[in-house]
Chain A
Amino acid sequence: MQLDTLNLNYWAIAPELIVSLVAVVLMLMDAFSRKGGRQANAFVALIGLIAAFVAVVRLGGLAAGGYFGGMVVIDPTRLFFAAIILIVAILAVLLAGQFLGDEGLPPGEFFSLLLFATSGMLLLTAAGDLVTVFLGLEIASITTYILAGYRRYDVRANESSLKYFLLGSFSTAFMLYGMALTYGATGTTNIEGIRQAIASESINFPALLLLGAAMMLVGFGFKIASAPFHLWTPDVYEGAPTLVTGFMGTGPKVAVFAAFIRVFIGGFDVPIAGVGLQLHNGWIHAVAVISVITMTVGNIVAISQKNIKRLLAYSSIAHAGYALVGFVTGDFAPVAFYLLAYSIVSVGAFGVIQLLARAGDQKTMIDDYAGIGFEAPALTFPLAIFLLSLAGIPSTAGFIGKFYVFKSAWVTTPSLRYLVVAAVINSIISIYYYLYPIVVIFFRPLAPGFVRPRMQKATALAIILTIIGTFYLGLLPNRLLKSMEKGQPARITANQPGTK
């Protein structure tokens, strides 16, 4: 194997390198400074993430294709998903100062874990090989398990962390078994190689390929919290600190979606004769059914929720269902745009709730917020905007996201139009439970003992940025949509690693 066939180019993993190096620096800063300065850590983390963002943009200048022997790829899917993840991470760092300050938690480890998680997610979006998918997934997951239990004297956070850990590693084992079977069936772990093996009908054991794909579907289903694998989500989201909930409900999920697209649309989607067609039909229909169940379960159960964090947890399940609708188009753009819209709004909403809930998440019931609408307008109006965007009200990001996904699915796959119909019905149902908190906040008598929370500057900046993002994507999405459509579909082009 020669050096040039491996295509070793460190610029191709520059974002991942930058983020993990900064995470290591933060770790050392934490170890060597007496009393870790919260601001210094946040500042370094922010600089690192912005540098990584620039590096992602610069990736567009490199040739698309596989690097490091096909372990890592550069394609439009990666660029867009990596950008979404970095946006989420930057917002989380901005919000983290408030969280750590109010709760009196040690800052050093938090930022370094956050950045390690981000580097794992970036790797996941870049993965061109099942090995890298696994590695990225685990780096992202293991750090998120710790973040979920970061408030370590709080039993709820411990429980949340434990449940997340047990079910997360359980699902990882499933995914891994699926990968092993796929490897056995196709003789390679390279996603492009798998596609070629299926296309050339050189499969050792067709049954194992189908079984492997099914198990990977279960694994991905767990990680994106789709029904019927969603049962861990509400408990974990409720128990984790609100900021972490916002982060893990968006970042890791977005990254897993990227890998999901890469593996299933990029690797398993070869609708030619034989096992390829079987596989194609199998997974498309499985995803369609999972999508419908997911959005329906998420929305129906969300209606009866009294706790705002649980409400948003079920809402996030429903949104995973909507995003899955985009899979039938065979293109990454609708899913990516949808997840961008969802992530920005969702992080914003959790950022506001973090303030309303107080240190230690004491007030997370919707009734706790009765009548505070005009008492703390700087918080309640943004929250209302975010909830309306999640509901998909026109002029917000949520509306364009839904419209784009549903329209693409309707146009590209006439046979699966029932999916779009189900999604639209679900969106209408969901308006009810998104409006309920708004009604309580603005039109109920004020609950006694409300004290207006003090907001830090960085928090205010993050909330302003998310509001701008919500309206920018909602009112002027054309530029972004155009640049997405220019990119080819999620398929990876060429550069298969040498097999000898």
Chain B
Amino acid sequence: MKDYLPILIVFIFVLGFAVTNIVLSHVIGRRKDTRAKLMPYECGMDPVGSAHQRFSVKFYLVAMLFILFDIEAIFLLPWAVVFRSLITTLSRSFVFIEMMAFIAVLFVGYVYVWKKGLFEWTRG
């Protein structure tokens, strides 16, 4: 059971962090209630009405971009974890440049998406 203690601590910490923030903002923050602000929160949509209404296609675009750029982190993490042990056998610059090349490819994708105007929410 002792092995699970760190998980419990993290859990308590996370809970405490969330609760503290909500309570603090409630107590300290200045509030001006408008109708829109009092509605239940639902990612930019009108929360009342049929759940089967059609979503704007823009959400799908953002979702796609999110998936693509988000998932690449799984390559960064293992690389960062083994970096120290890797440079004992491979040259440091080699290990570094390999990952930079990967990030450069991602960056090109980002520039492409930007230039194509996919970040402009109000576009047609």
Contact = CB atoms under 8 A, between A and B. Distances in A.
Interface of A: 1-3, 24, 27-28, 30-32
A3 B90 contact: yes
B38 to A, nearest CB: 42
Interface residues of B, number: 10
B89 A2 contact: yes
A292 to B, nearest CB: 43
Contacts of B91: 3
B89 A24 contact: no
B90 A31 contact: no
Given A24-B105, A24-B108, A27-B108, A32 B115 contact: yes
A1 B89 contact: yes
14 contacts: A1-B89, A2-B89, A3-B89, A3-B91, A3-B94, A24-B108, A27-B108, A27-B112, A28-B108, A28-B111, A30-B112, A31-B115, A31-B116, A32-B115
B112 A31 contact: yes
Given A2-B89, A27-B112, A28-B112, 16 more contacts: A1-B89, A3-B89, A3-B90, A3-B91, A3-B94, A24-B105, A24-B108, A27-B108, A28-B108, A28-B111, A30-B112, A31-B111, A31-B112, A31-B115, A31-B116, A32-B115
Q: Is the interface of B mostly helix, strand, loop or mixed?
A: helix
Contacts of B116: 31
Interface in B80-124: 89-91, 94, 105, 108, 111-112, 115-116
Contacts of B108: 24, 27-28
Interface of B: 89-91, 94, 105, 108, 111-112, 115-116
A24 B107 CA distance: 11
Contacts of B94: 3
Contacts of A28: 108, 111-112
A27 B114 CA distance: 12
A421 to B, nearest CB: 51
Nearest to B105: A24
A30 B108 CA distance: 12
Nearest to A5: B89
A316 B20 CA distance: 66
Q: Which of A30, A31, A32 has the most CB of B within 10 A?
A: A31
Nearest to B114: A31
Contacts of B111: 28, 31
